[in-house]
Structure 1
Amino acid sequence: MKKHIAIDLGASNGRVLVGDLGEFEVVHRFVTQNDQILGEFYWNIQSLFAEIKVGLKKAFAKYGSEISSIGIDTWGVDYVLTDDKGGLVSLCYHYRDSRTDGLIEQVSKQLGGKMRIYERTGIAFQPFNTLYQLAAMKRDRPEALKAASHYLSV
C-alpha cells in the first residue's frame, strides 16, 4: 500500500508523519523556532526548512518507494517575499507579531468596509490575517515590498 508524507507545522512544534488512511507514524518531531529581533517577532524559516528536510530523510530512509505523495499543513497566514532569484527580501514575520494591532478598522475603512472585505475574501477579522500583515508591511517596510518579485505563502 502506498504511503503519504504529511508535514504539520504548528505555532510551537512541527512533525513529519508517514501513513495511509488506516494508520500513521510520526517519524520526526521538532520545536518550531522563532526569534524576537529589535522588538519584532519572526519565524526562523531556515530552521523550519532544516527540520523538514531531516524528517523527509527519515521518512524516505524508512519507507522509500512506498511513498507516493507529500503534503504540508501550516498556520496559513504568514509569508516570505523573495527577489527575482529566489533570495529572501525580508525575514518571515510571525503571525503573533504585534505590528498588525489596530489595522482591522483602518484597512476595512480603506477597502470599503468589513462587509466588502468579507464578501470578497471570506476571511475572519483576525489581526494576524495576511491582509493585515501585508498592510503592515506596506506601512513599515515599503522598500521590501518594492524589492519583492515573489510572494510565497508559508
Structure 2
Amino acid sequence: MINSPALSDVTDSGLYLHYRLLDESDIPQIMTLERSAHSHPWRQSSFEDCLNGRQKCWLAEHKGVLVGYVVVTHGGGDAELLNISVSPAFQRKGIGRCLLKLAVECVKEKADMLFLEVRVSNRKAIALYEKEDFFEVGQRKNYYPTVNGHEDALLMARQL
C-alpha cells in the first residue's frame, strides 16, 4: 500500500487543494478531465485498475471541483509516476507541482527512485520535472501516439 500523504496543500498561487483517493463514482469526471488535458487520453480501464491495484490515483480538488490527479505505483525498490494531469482551466497555478510533491510523498518510503516518461515536445512539463530534481536517464523511441505517427518519450528519474 502506498503511504497516505497529507490530505491537503496550498499552491504557490494560493489555491487550497484537498487530496483523496479515486473512488469508482469519480470515473466519469476523471475521464472528462483526462480527455480535456490529453490528445491521446488513457482508457477508462486504466483508471479502474487504480481502484484495487498497487497503483493509486490521488485526486486534487479545489472548492469541491476536480482540478487534477496523479497516478503512482511502486515495486522492486522503484516507483513510477504513471499519469499526472491538471484541468486546462487550472493550469499554470502550481497544481502540477503540488501533485508532483504528492507523488514523491506517496512512494518515498517504498522506493529509491521515481521514474516517469514525458513527451519530448512537452517543454513545460520537462521544465517542472527538472525544477523538482528529476534528471534525464534515456529516451523511448516512438513511445507516444500522435496525429501523424509517434513521438519519443524522455525517461526521467528522481532519487528519493
TM-score tier after normalising by the smaller chain length: under 0.3
- Larger helix fraction of residues: 1
- Identify which of structures 1 and 2 has the higher relative contact order when contacts are C-alpha pairs closer than 8 Å and 6+ apart: 1
Relative to the length of structure 2, the TM-score reads: 0.26
Larger Rg belongs to: 1
Normalization by structure 1: what TM-score? 0.27
Structure (1/2) with the larger strand percentage: 2
